[in-house]
Structure 1
Amino acid sequence: MSSTLYDKDYHLWLQETVQLLQDGQLQELDIPDLIEEIQDMGKSQRKAVKSNLKVILWHLLKYKYQPEKRSNSWKSSIIKHRKRIRDAFEDSPSLKRYFNKIFDQSYQDSRELALAETGLSIETFPLEYSFTIAEILENKSL
C-alpha cells in the first residue's frame, strides 16, 4: 500500500494543495483527498452546531428546573455555546436549516443528560421543549 503526502504529513499536504490551487495547477491536485477534506469540513461544522446546541439545552433545562443549584458555570457555558452557534451561523447561514432539523433530537438528548445529572424525575423535564429559539440563542433567558 502506497502512502501519500496526505497520509504522511497532513499540514504539508494542505500547504502544497493551497499552492497548487493558487498556481492553477489543477491537474497536480490530489483530488480524492481534497474531496474528502471538503466533505469533512461540512461534517465538522454540523457536529459543532449539534454539540453546542445540546450543551445549551442541557444547561437551560437544569437552570429552569433546578433553580436552587443555578451556578455561574451554567450561565457562562450557555453564553459561550450560544456565541459559538451564532458565529457558525454568521460564517455559514445555511447551518440554520441543519439546526432546525436536529433540534428535536438534540432536545431529547439534552433532556436525558439533565435527568442523569440532576436525579430529578423524568416528568420534571417536559417531553416537548418549552424554550423559544430566542431563549436558546440569545442572552435573554438568564
Structure 2
Amino acid sequence: MTQSISHKSLYESDFLLWTQDTIAKLKAKDFDHVDLENLLEEIEALGNSYRDELASRLETLIEHCLKRLYVDMPQEFNGWERTIREQRRRIKRRLQKTPSLRTLWDEFILEAFEFALETVRDDYSQYQFPDTWQYDLDIDTILNIDFWVNCQE
C-alpha cells in the first residue's frame, strides 16, 4: 500500500509564516535560503495591486463626478460629493506613497473615464452624458476641482 505524501512548501501551507521566515532570512542576509521565486512573485503582485488600486479609485471618482454633473437628483448630491472627496483623498495618499504611479496617470484616467461612462449610462439611461470628458484630465484638476460648482443647477 502506497501512501501519498504532500510536500507543500511553506509558501503554500502558511503564507504569514512564509513572510516572517523570508523577512528573517533577508535580515540575516541568508540569501541562499530565501524562496526567491515566490518572493519575486509577491513583490510583482504588490506593485500590480497599487496600479489596480489607482485604476479602481479613478474609475469610482470619475463615475461619481459624472453623476454629480449630469444626473438631476439633488437628494443624491451630498453622497456623491462625499465619495468624490474620499476617492480624491485616497488617490492623493497613494500617489504620495507611490509617486511613480503618476507616470501612468494619462493611461489610467482615459480608461477610467470610459469605464465610468459605461457604468453611469447603464445605471442612468434616462440622462445624457458626454462622449468625452469636458474638463482637463491632469492630476491637479481631477483631484481638486469641484466641476459642478460652475454648473447651472
- Is the pair's TM-score, using the shorter chain for normalization, greater than 0.5? yes
Identity %: 26
Q: C-alpha offsets along residues 63-104 of structure 1, whole Å, 9 cap, x if unaligned? A: 000143433221111111111111111011110111221221
99, 102, 113: which one pairs with 1:107? 113
SS in 1 for 2:118: helix
Structure 1: 4+ residue segments shifted above 6 A:
none
Q: Which residue matches 2:131?
A: 127
Range that drifts further, 129-138 or 27-36? 129-138
Cα deviation, residue 5, structure 1: 0.5
- In 2, the alpha carbon distance for the partners of 1:52 and 1:126 equals 21
* Number of residue pairs aligned between Structure 1 and Structure 2: 140
Residue aligning to 1:74: 80
Q: Which runs of 5+ in 2 are unaligned?
A: 1-5, 149-153
Range moving further from structure 2, 60-69 or 87-96:
60-69
Mapped to 1, the partners of 2:118 and 2:146 lie a distance apart of 24
Deviation at 1:2, TM superposition (A): 3.0
Unmatched 5+ stretches in structure 1? none
Q: 2:64 aligns with which of 59, 73, 86?
A: 59
Deviation at 1:117, TM superposition (A): 1.5
- In structure 1, give the amino acid aligned to 2:135: F
* Alpha-carbon separation, structure 2, partners of 1:117 and 1:136: 23
- Calculate the TM-score normalised by the size of structure 1: 0.90
Say if 2:58 and 2:108, in contact at 8 Å, map to a contact too. Answer: no
Per the TM alignment, residue 139 of structure 1 is displaced from its structure 2 partner at its CA by: 5.5
TM-score (norm 2): 0.84
1:17-69: CA deviation from partner (whole Å, max 9, x where unpaired): 11111111111100000000000001100000000000000000000001434
- Alignment partner of 1:20 out of 14, 25, 32: 25
The yes-or-no answer on 1:44 pairing with 2:49 is: yes
- Across the aligned residues of Structure 1 and Structure 2, the Cα RMSD in angstroms comes to 1.6
SS of residue matched to 2:73: helix
* C-alpha spacing 1:129/1:139, structure 2 compared with 1 (3 Å): closer
Q: How many Å apart are 1:9 and its aligned residue?
A: 0.6
1:135–1:141 CA contact under 8 A, matched in 2: no
